[in-house]
């Protein structure tokens, strides 16, 4: 069980006031204030630097204390779930993938590992890089795949590959023997795009803006949010598509699709697997990183 003084601190931070924290915990405000005073005496720090006008501001030490308190709360909750056997089970790992690089290869690597290790099961979470790092720090994720590695100490970072935005074309397409496609060449093709918000789409449109081009100058025939549907169309030479290379790894290996660089577009990203230094099963993460490189 997490110290009730830390619980009070987390409630103050979450609800923004001593009064509301007291109400949520069914305590008096003096009791909440006493908890904070006890924490300050215990650690020889000031927790809050400002409490005027109904607002509160944490000191640097207070922020550190809140961070550790959140970790303790998460560990306590997960331990309780394991002991109760509710929705959690031994061997269950939470794996995160950044939205910007989420692809079938990550799931394939996790599935391949779980098939070889029956005791391993995983919960797959897709989120933005910042949220994933917060989950990792709060022990709400065991390891993550990201294209934005954390700064500072306390992490083990293993590069597993690179990703880039490319023009995917059928091996039957007239551009298939080229290594790079110009924007003028792409204008002559039926163009398939992911929906707005997808990394590949955003990068392509940024490139057009930089080169003073407009998307309406291209023959965009299809916009869809399913990579599998897009690759199916490209294989049949029904159009060319702007995609992340990680989306078409299998098709590139089989030769069904050819990836061309897009003239003027520079967007290479390193994909890394990241876990905390105190992760108790680093060999699992490293084995999965190795499998990812192979699939």
Predicted pLDDT at 88: 44
From first to last of the 295 residues of the chain, give the pLDDT tens digit.
678 999 999 999 988 889 999 999 999 999 999 999 999 999 999 999 866 555 788 999 998 899 888 878 877 766 666 555 544 445 689 999 988 777 677 888 999 999 999 888 899 998 888 899 988 988 889 999 998 888 888 899 999 988 889 999 999 999 999 999 999 999 999 999 998 878 788 889 989 999 999 999 999 999 998 888 999 999 999 999 999 888 888 899 899 999 999 998 876 778 899 999 988 889 999 999 999 888 7
Regarding pTM above 0.75, the answer is: no
Contact status, residue 265 vs residue 242, Cβ threshold 8 Å: no
Dihedral of alpha carbons 124, 126, 128, 131, sign: negative
C-alpha span between 118 and 20 (Å, rounded): 47
Q: Please check whether residues 69 and 115 belong to one and the same domain.
A: no
CA-closest candidate to residue 229, choices 219, 239, 214: 239
Domain count of the chain? 3
Predicted pLDDT at 87: 44
Q: Please check whether residues 126 and 32 belong to one and the same domain.
A: no
Q: Give the three-class secondary structure for 58.
A: strand
Q: Please check whether residues 38 and 167 belong to one and the same domain.
A: no
| CA torsion, ordered 136, 140, 142, 146, to nearest 10 deg | -40
Q: Please check whether residues 198 and 67 belong to one and the same domain.
A: no
Predicted pLDDT at 291: 93
Q: Please check whether residues 230 and 174 belong to one and the same domain.
A: yes
C-alpha span between 236 and 254 (Å, rounded): 14
C-alpha span between 145 and 106 (Å, rounded): 8
Give the structural domain span for 50. 4-73
DSSP bridge partners of 272: 146, 159
Predicted pLDDT at 164: 86
C-alpha span between 271 and 27 (Å, rounded): 47
Q: Please check whether residues 37 and 170 belong to one and the same domain.
A: no
DSSP for 108-142 reads HHHHHHHHH-TT-EEEEEEE-HHHHHHHHHTTS-S
> CA 108: distance to chain centroid?
17
Q: DSSP class of residue 93?
A: E
CATH number, domain of 52, equals 1.10.10.10
Q: How many of the other CB atoms lie within 10 Å of CB of 101?
A: 24
């Amino acid at each position: 069980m997490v110290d009730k003084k830390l619980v009070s601190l987390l409630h103050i931070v979450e609800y923004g006031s001593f009064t509301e924290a007291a109400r949520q915990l069914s305590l008096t405000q003096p009791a909440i204030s006493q908890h904070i005073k006890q924490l300050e005496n215990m650690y020889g720090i000031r927790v809050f630097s400002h409490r005027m006008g109904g607002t509160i501001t944490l000191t640097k030490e207070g922020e550190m204390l809140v961070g550790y308190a959140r970790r303790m709360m998460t560990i306590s909750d997960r331990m309780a779930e394991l002991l109760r056997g509710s929705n959690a089970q031994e061997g269950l790992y939470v794996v995160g993938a950044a939205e910007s690089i989420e692809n079938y290869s990550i799931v394939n690597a996790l599935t391949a590992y779980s098939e070889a290790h029956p005791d391993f099961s995983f919960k797959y979470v897709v989120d933005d890089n910042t949220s994933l790092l917060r989950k990792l720090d709060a022990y709400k994720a065991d390891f993550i795949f990201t294209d934005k590695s954390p700064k500072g100490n306390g992490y083990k970072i293993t590069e597993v590959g690179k990703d880039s935005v490319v023009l995917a074309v059928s091996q039957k397409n007239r551009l298939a023997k080229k290594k790079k496609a110009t924007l003028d060449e792409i204008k002559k093709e039926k163009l398939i795009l992911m929906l707005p918000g997808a990394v590949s789409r955003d990068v392509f449109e940024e490139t057009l803006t930089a080169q003073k081009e407009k998307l309406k100058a291209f023959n965009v025939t299809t916009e869809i949010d399913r990579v599998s549907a897009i690759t199916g169309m490209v294989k049949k030479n029904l159009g060319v598509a702007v995609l992340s290379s990680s989306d078409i790894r299998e098709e590139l290996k089989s030769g069904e699709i050819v990836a061309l660089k897009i003239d003027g577009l520079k967007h290479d990203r390193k994909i890394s697997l990241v876990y905390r230094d105190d992760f108790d099963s680093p060999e699992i993460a490293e084995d999965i990183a190795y499998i990812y490189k192979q699939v």
